[in-house]
Structures are given as structure tokens and as C-alpha cells.
Structure 1
Amino acid sequence: MNLILDIGNSTVKVATFNANKMVKKEVVEHSQLIHHLNTINFKKGIVSNVGNVELENKVLSACSSIIQMSSSLKLPIQSSYSSMETIGNDRLANAVGAFVEKQNSNSLVIDAGTCLTFDFIDSTNCYKGGAISPGLRMRFKALNTFTEKLPLLHTSSEKSQLVGNNTNSSIVSGVVNGMVGEIVNTIASYRSKYTALTIFMTGGDTEFLQSIVGIEKNGIFALENLTLKGLNNILETNVS
């Protein structure tokens, strides 16, 4: 059994795989992770961290059979990215996850999480790079942080509309419609350059965005476990 740990800012996604098939997924608080590991029977594991280096070090110290996710690990895909040492683990895992889902395909992965990221893998299974911009919550927070009077809102504060008729609805319109426009325009740009493009969308805000973006209309596959699948494949590639 494979153990996959994806450490976020406040919680950890804990998944077990039997070869390439996910068996179970849980979300655990940081404070409960080490205790929770003692209840799982696994042969090998991998930990990816984007939110808590101290917790990651505790995991690695507690379990010698768990390896640390990094760009220095052997990957099942090639890469022409010029700064692999700085690439985020989630972006790399997403690229491998897309490879797992569909090989030898021009694939675009959209991750709507803390940041909005776009990552492209070409039909030769080579990771080329992509783009990074602020995610929904970061956009809302930026408007509140860098102005004196604009309130801090969330995606559920107001229903998104084109013409905001008060300050709150205007903020939601700008943030949500702006992000949707960025996604739709980026998809169109990639499709104009690459034929037979396969598009995957993942990340915490996918559920909120999918109806607005038009998942089905734009031919997007929403896969909430894409990152975990990528991490599992990287583990399989590195540990027999």
C-alpha cells in the first residue's frame, strides 16, 4: 500500500493507493497527522509540502519509508523548465497527474487553489511550464490589504454578477469574473496554438468555478485528486 501526504496551509490530504488505484482519502489537521500515521498500514510513502516545513520534517523523521517530494526525484516525464529547483511540488505533481490520465497528449492543467496555476505538458510527455497568478482568496485579500476601505469578502459573500450595484457586489464581480475571464482566455490561447488539447482542472476552488467557467462547454475534465495521483506515480517511479 502506498501512502500519499499532501501538506497544505492548515490541513493534510492523506491518501492510500494500491498500485495506481486510490483506496481511501482523508483530510487531517496538522496537529493530528503524526498520530494518524500510526493507524495506517503502508509499505512506502511520499510527502509533499506547501504549507508547513516543520510538520514535513516530523513526518520524515517519524517514518523512514516516506520520501520527500522534490524536483530532484526521478520523474516519468521529461522537462524543459529552466528552473526546476524552484518549481512548486503541486505544479510538478499536477503535470505528472496529467501524464497518468492521458499520455502523449497536449495537456493543460488548471489548478484553482491558493494560486491559479496553468501547467502544460506536450504530446512528447515533456513538461514545458505555464503561468502563476493569484487565486480567488488571494485576490479578495489583496483588495482589502492594499486599500483603506474595501472590505474582505469571500466567494460566498455575494452572487457573482456582471454589473455590481454596490461595493461588495462590485468586488465579487471583478474578482470572480476577472478570474473566469483569465481561465477562459488562457484556454483559448492554448487551443489556438496546440491541437487536440486535453484540459484538466483541479484545486479547492474548482467546484465553485466549474459552473461559471463552463466545464462541459469548454471540454474540461474536473479531477479533484489529480495532484495525489501524480504524487503516487512519482513514488512508484522512485521506490519499487
Structure 2
Amino acid sequence: MINLTIDRGNTTTKLALWEGSEPTSTSTLFNADNATLLRAISELTFDRAAICSVADPVEGLGEMLEQRGIKLLTLSATTPIPIGNMYATPHTLGVDRIAAAVGAHTLYPGRELLIADIGTCVTYDRIDTDGNFVGGNIAPGIGMRLRAMHTFTKALPQVASTGDTPQWGISTDTAMRSGAFYGVVAEVSYYHSLLDSEGLTLLTGGWSEKVAKALDFDARLCPLLVNRGLNRILQYNETNPH
């Protein structure tokens, strides 16, 4: 049984094929429109599919898969999941955060976990040792911080998020870029410090590799965390029909 998982974010869409608990192939689409995504999926061979999207719905996906006899699981607040959810307003919890939490607990059951998803926004989510989503925080991403500094001041320029990030800026551009970048690094370090001695921090999202290199502790890079969670949710709903 081959599963397809689709993690549709604000900027990137990650596709992964799974046999059991391991990915057999992955691909990433950048700023893909609806037609491009449908075309990419149509070229794949799989038996079941799951999607979580924080962007616009993928119009026509369900119909296309139905024609192939494939059911699509669209992750929502009401989808049964194999972890507890202690969020006070579960209907407002981002589906990407739900999937990432399931993926994290699948990788490291019985461990206290911090998930830092560093993308357009940065989310910091905690999973307890019993596999419960305890809660989390949302902060502006690095690009968003730079745009905010330019938008809400008169003197600061618009600075690209890519470029040198010295620990101490030596120009306005590097001061802004480093301030935004190391602000995120400091946040990750702070939330990591709240974990117990056996706790792990997992990094995902487009900025995760660069942030990991700047940390003074060992954080685990998990680029397919959301996809892994979607795969586990597919398996769970297949064996525990509701």
C-alpha cells in the first residue's frame, strides 16, 4: 500500500510517497499554482492520499483522485488523530501544526518535544511525554520581521532575507537581517530551555537548516515532519475507522 502525502504551505508544497513508515520519494514545488500541482500528482502512482493545506484549497484534486478510485483524506480539526489535543480551541489550530505534532510523536514516542516550524511564520509547539499536544506559540518569520521593520518605520529599507548574518551587524542591511535571524535563534533556544533534560527540539521549515547551525545545542532536522504526520494519520484512520 503506497500513501501520498501533500503538505501545502504558503510558499512550498512537499509531496512524499510512503511504503509503511518510510518515504520512498519526495519532491518540493515552489509557488506552484493549482494546475502545476495537479499535474505533478497525476504523474505519481499511489493507493491512498492525504493533504493538509494552510494555503488555498487545491481545486479539482478530490475529483481527480476519485476518478482513479483513490480516497483523499483532507486533514481538519475533526479528523481522528493518534495523539491527544489539549488546545482550548482545536478548530483554530493550524492543520500543519496538527500533522507536525503527530509526525514528531511518531518519531520520538515517550519524549517531551519542541517543534519549531520556521517558515513564513514560526510556530513553537510542545508535545508532552504522553503524546499530548499541549499548546504552542506563533511568531513572525524572518522575512516577515524584515518587512515589518521597513513598513512601520520611515528610515529602514526593505532588506532581503538572504545574505550575510554576522553576529553583530556592520551595516543597516546586516543589522536588520541579523536581528531578524538571531531573534528566531534566541526564541528556539529559550523554548528548548523549558523542556526536561530528556526533551528534544525538532526543526522543520525552510529556515531550519540555517537556524540549526546557529544553535548551541543539538536540534534534530525533520524536513518531512508534516508529511510524516499525514502518513501516520492515514494509517491510523485505515486501522481505526470512525
TM-score (norm 2): 0.89
Partner SS for 1:196: coil
Relative to 1, partners in 2 of residues 1:26 and 1:148: Cα closer, same or farther, differing over 3 Å? same
Distance 2:62 2:154 in 1: 44
What is the CA distance between 1:15 and its match in structure 2?
A: 0.9
Aligned counterpart, 1:171: 176
| Matched residue, 1:210 | 212
> In the alignment, what sits opposite 1:198?
200
| 1:12-161 paired onto structure 2 within 5 Å | 12-28=13-29, 29-30=32-33, 31-53=35-57, 55=58, 57-64=59-66, 65-157=71-163, 159-161=164-166
Please give the alpha-carbon distance, in whole angstroms, between the structure 2 residues aligned to 1:166 and 1:89: 39
Give the superposition deviation at 1:187.
1.3
2:10 is the alignment partner of 1:9? yes
Seen in structure 2, the aligned counterparts of structure 1 residues 16 and 123 have a Cα distance that, compared at 3 Å, is: same
How many Å separate the matches in 1 of 2:132 and 2:168?
A: 42
Partner of 1:160: helix, strand, or coil? coil
Paired letter, 2:214: I
Q: 1:35 to 1:163 in 2, by over 3 A?
A: closer
Q: Secondary structure at the match of 1:178?
A: helix
Q: How does 1:222-233 map to 2 (within 5 A)?
A: 222-233=221-232
Report the CA distance between 1:10 and its aligned residue: 4.0
TM-score, with structure 1 as normaliser: 0.90
* Per-residue deviation, 1:156: 2.2
Identity of aligned residues (%): 28
Give the aligned length. 231
Q: Determine whether 1:180 maps to 2:185.
A: yes
Q: Which consecutive residues of structure 2, in runs of 5 or more, have no partner in the other structure?
A: none
RMSD, aligned CA: 1.6
- Checking the alignment, whether the CA contact within 8 Å between 1:106 and 1:195 is kept in structure 2 is no
Give the deviation of 1:44 after TM superposition: 0.7
Q: Structure 2: how far apart are the matches of 1:177 and 1:198? A: 20
Deviation, 1:166, is 2.2
User: What amino acid is aligned across from residue 25 of structure 2 in structure 1?
Assistant: K
Residue 172 of structure 1 aligns to a residue whose secondary structure is: helix
